[in-house]
Structure 1
């Protein structure tokens, strides 16, 4: 599973990344978590507000920090 955190590196982006790592840990799934910070790369996902989370190349949420439980739900949709 591939999880991408889209954002400039702000505190909300860092919190979303931490929540994603916690969700992966709690679900005991294997996932590569990467940060995408270049605006051109973020725009490829048609995301206009960050932070955003992309799982297996599907934008799941943008413009807010997802909770651990929300991310777990998104991960389960992709398993």
Structure 2
């Protein structure tokens, strides 16, 4: 199971990123633990200055803008 965190304050792009990750995991039949991190101090703790950010198993894999589906799929394989 992958532990995925979406970093962002709740903006539209952050919500879209969360939804896309959920959809991709469901379509692939992959179990994930998805957490939304909205506290600015926690987001900055990951070194992310531009949201949404995505952290998988403790590693920042994306920051700034909505990731495309191909990129999300690559995270889940």
TM-score by length of 2: 0.92
Q: Which runs of 5+ in 1 are unaligned?
A: none
Displacement after TM superposition at 1:5 (Å): 0.4
Alignment partner of 2:55: what SS?
strand
Q: Which runs of 5+ in 2 are unaligned?
A: none
Structure 2 CA distance for aligned equivalents of residues 74 and 56 of structure 1: 11
Paired residues, what number? 76
Structure 1 CA distance for aligned equivalents of residues 50 and 8 of structure 2: 8
Alignment partner of 1:32: what SS?
strand
Q: Which residue of 2 aligns with 1:26?
A: 27
Structure 2 CA distance for aligned equivalents of residues 73 and 31 of structure 1: 14
Within 5 Å, which residues of 2 pair with 1:9-20?
9-20=10-21
Displacement after TM superposition at 1:44 (Å): 1.2
TM-score by length of 1: 0.90
4+ long deviations beyond 3 Å? none
Q: Which residue of 1 aligns with 2:67?
A: 66
